[in-house]
């Protein structure tokens, strides 16, 4: 059996945006979003970082707003972002993260599907490096919208945050969303952007086309 997957990743980080830009709903849980207004001059966008990485800052309704994605791995409790505005010293903005229980799916599969062979493990590690390098990029181009389009028609086969347990071995929560579609179905980017890394990664069991897009 050969499994074919097509994956589109969209990374967006911007400084200005339409005044009527619709913001996502704030959700202070692992895998959620922290949204907070930032006091800074209109002509000087502030720099916001979380865990050492630049976060999205938008101009919306005549004010600056930080839109910060919270990783699924974050521990519930106190957290903070760092804000640099003008000549003022960098200052923390603190918030509290609550807990959230995502779905867990237990599966029994062939042992080879759980413990990767050395070639597949090497391929997976190389894919991970490329993907994380793409996700680490930052763009100041403002997005037209924060709403992402469904890249392909089909049935959702795995949801964001889902934790799978293969043969009693737990895996990290799923950081994306899988959509099942027939082989050959066209896949569209979820938003306008620049293609960073078109990749084809394959093994005897899995063939993946990775398309990383920076908005």
Rounded CA separation 167/114 (Å): 8
CATH for 33-97 (3.60.15.10, 2.40.70.10, 2.60.40.1590, 2.40.110.10): 2.60.40.1590
Average pLDDT (159-169) is 86
Q: Is the pLDDT score of 213 beyond 70?
A: no
Please name the helix (run of DSSP H) or strand (run of DSSP E) that holds residue 127, with its range, or none.
helix 118-135
Q: What global pTM score does this model have?
A: 0.78
Can you read off the two tokens belonging to residue 139?
């763009």
pLDDT tens across 42-99, in order? 888 899 999 999 999 998 888 999 999 999 999 999 999 999 988 888 999 999 999 9
Share of the chain above pLDDT 70, in %: 81
Give the start-to-end residue ranges of the domains of the chain.
Answer: 33-97
Rounded CA separation 23/65 (Å): 9
Neighbouring residues of 205: CB distance < 8 A, sequence distance ≥ 6: 1, 2, 3, 112, 113, 120
């Amino acid at each position: 059996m050969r499994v074919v997957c097509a994956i589109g990743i969209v990374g967006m980080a911007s400084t200005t945006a339409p005044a009527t830009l619709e913001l996502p709903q704030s959700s202070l849980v692992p895998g959620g979003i922290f949204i907070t207004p930032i006091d800074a001059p209109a002509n000087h966008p502030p720099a916001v970082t979380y865990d050492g990485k630049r976060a999205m800052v938008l101009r919306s309704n005549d004010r600056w707003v930080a839109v910060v994605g919270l990783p699924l791995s974050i521990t519930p409790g106190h957290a903070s972002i760092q804000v640099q505005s003008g000549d003022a010293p960098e200052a923390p903005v603190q918030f509290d993260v609550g807990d959230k229980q995502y779905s867990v799916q237990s599966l029994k599969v062939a042992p080879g599907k759980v413990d990767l062979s050395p070639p597949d493990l090497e391929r997976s590690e190389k894919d991970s490096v490329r993907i994380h390098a793409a996700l680490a990029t930052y763009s100041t181009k403002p997005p037209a919208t924060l709403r992402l389009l469904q890249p392909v028609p089909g049935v959702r086969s795995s949801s964001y945050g889902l934790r799978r347990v293969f043969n009693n071995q737990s895996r990290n929560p799923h950081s994306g969303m899988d959509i099942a579609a027939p082989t050959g179905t066209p896949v569209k980017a979820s938003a306008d952007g620049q293609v960073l890394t078109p990749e084809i990664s394959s093994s005897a069991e899995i063939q993946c086309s990775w398309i990383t897009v920076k908005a």
